[in-house]
Structure 1
């Protein structure tokens, strides 16, 4: 199948670990082998089996206690330490051969927006032959306010440019959003899945202080010119929603493209497959 995987990123509290749990459970039910790699040295609780855990190498508490860093500084130090000891990660994931890997990452967005550590880590995986898609998870509560949503768009765009990976943006917790609107998907959600920044700008302008208008207008113009960010809604209670998100990511990294052609079940063992294909192709 080739070495494939997902880099699950996004702000703290956006639902990354729940996403990893959901995808892992769904794949297990489908008989598909997936391993989750925890890259968050500050993580404490997991609802999925952890195949590889950065905390076996270093924990953020160690960096804070020994080096007297704060939480963010300690986390960045841990990621630097991981890169300096990349052979540990190479050995750990080497046991899985060509299995599909999901990397559950920390919630500090500077790691994906301007600090180069995660990009360097992806370079290492590329050298090992992995094809990785970045999956940027954003809480659906961001759609409650156009200004917040435009901020989420900027975060996604920055991560796309920084990491230079096949990219899919996922709007998480849509099941919660539905529950808040009587169990139905709210009509306004469609406006945010393939957003029109200039239209959002018009909605914001009526309540905006005039001194911020020009800056916000420039940001909307930037997002509109790039037109690279769109979102897939994820309802973890809906199998079709999970399947659509996963299949989109698989397509982005061409997972399954190298599957061998299997002999049709109705053919007898002694029938040559090439002869059968030739027969089917004749009028």
Structure 2
């Protein structure tokens, strides 16, 4: 039988572990089983203790100390070590039945999802062979990015890069929606859920860029041209146009304090991994005849 799982990923600070916690709480409230896997070798605090923790195999602190590596290099080493010891994952996960949702909490270094081939190898192992897990990726991007459009498109590009590199079903999520409540109109927010290049033509920032583009940009390093000048504008427009051309990325909204919001995200995850289609229909309870004395 197939197993079912979700890989929770995204840049640092996007709220991945918080989302995992909210997802576990929602599953337990609905009497549904889950198996929580932590693959962040630097994580130390959890609301729910992981059922399987990579730190039992290797920790980032030990690698940095013994190998004299920095945080990013140490993280890559940890995952390469994991790929050499895949039985650490395989043996426990083989015991997990199809009724469980396997939740895998990933670290926040986006190079793992964008241009380092470590995670694609791990995903292939989980989705094929003896494990055969129907799996999707939940890519979280902090909703506060919508206030800064270049930053938003940069985050969207990283989400698209992960989609192309991992080649698996994807659910992209704007997290921490409670942080921007009241700062952006609902109709304006909807435009970020399916981003396109026209977003760069709105607002005061676009007017400033337009004025800056009229100024000579012979010196890209000039103060007036860095982060506001025509060169920067052309770069952002090229990135936005690339995202628009592929037309792959759309976002769901997440507020972990709202149970309905968490439930809605879970329903999209279930659809992506075809969870409900694989569940056997339950037989209706037979009517019980009650004898009446008299």
Give structure 1 regions of 4+ aligned residues with deviation exceeding 6 angstroms.
none
Q: What corresponds to 1:8 in structure 2? A: 8
Consecutive unaligned residues of structure 1, counting only runs of 5 or more, are: 271-283
Q: For the Cα contact (< 8 Å) 1:177–1:185, is it kept in 2?
A: no
Separation of aligned partners in 2, 1:245 and 1:185: 22
- Return closer, same or farther for 1:33/1:155 CA change in 2, 3 Å cut-off: same
Q: Does 1:139 align with 2:159?
A: no
Q: What corresponds to 2:218 in structure 1? A: none
SS of the aligned residue for 1:115 comes to coil
CA shift digits 1:131-162 (9 cap, x unpaired): 11010011111111111111111011000000
Q: CA deviation at 1:246?
A: 0.5
Correspondence list, 1:1-283, <5 A:
2-98=2-98, 99-127=100-128, 128-178=131-181, 181=182, 186-195=186-195, 197-203=196-202, 204-208=205-209, 209-265=229-285, 268=287
Separation of aligned partners in 1, 2:25 and 2:235: 44
Separation of aligned partners in 2, 1:256 and 1:2: 12
Q: TM-score, normalised by structure 2?
A: 0.85
Q: For the Cα contact (< 8 Å) 2:3–2:96, is it kept in 1?
A: no
Q: CA deviation at 1:69?
A: 0.5
Q: CA deviation at 1:177?
A: 2.1
SS of the aligned residue for 1:36 comes to strand
SS of the aligned residue for 1:228 comes to coil
Greater mean alpha carbon deviation, residues 151-160 or residues 205-214: 205-214
Q: For the Cα contact (< 8 Å) 1:119–1:163, is it kept in 2?
A: yes
Consecutive unaligned residues of structure 2, counting only runs of 5 or more, are: 210-228, 290-294
Q: For the Cα contact (< 8 Å) 1:52–1:93, is it kept in 2?
A: no
Aligned length: 265
Separation of aligned partners in 2, 1:269 and 1:84: 57
Q: TM-score, normalised by structure 1?
A: 0.88
Q: CA deviation at 1:186?
A: 4.4
Q: For the Cα contact (< 8 Å) 1:193–1:232, is it kept in 2?
A: yes
SS of the aligned residue for 2:11 comes to coil
CA shift digits 1:73-109 (9 cap, x unpaired): 1111000000000111111222323321010001000
Greater mean alpha carbon deviation, residues 7-16 or residues 93-102: 93-102
SS of the aligned residue for 1:41 comes to coil
Q: For the Cα contact (< 8 Å) 2:153–2:236, is it kept in 1?
A: no
CA shift digits 1:37-74 (9 cap, x unpaired): 00000001111231100000000011111111111111
Separation of aligned partners in 2, 1:155 and 1:201: 18
Q: For the Cα contact (< 8 Å) 2:79–2:118, is it kept in 1?
A: yes
SS of the aligned residue for 1:50 comes to coil
Greater mean alpha carbon deviation, residues 95-104 or residues 156-165: 95-104
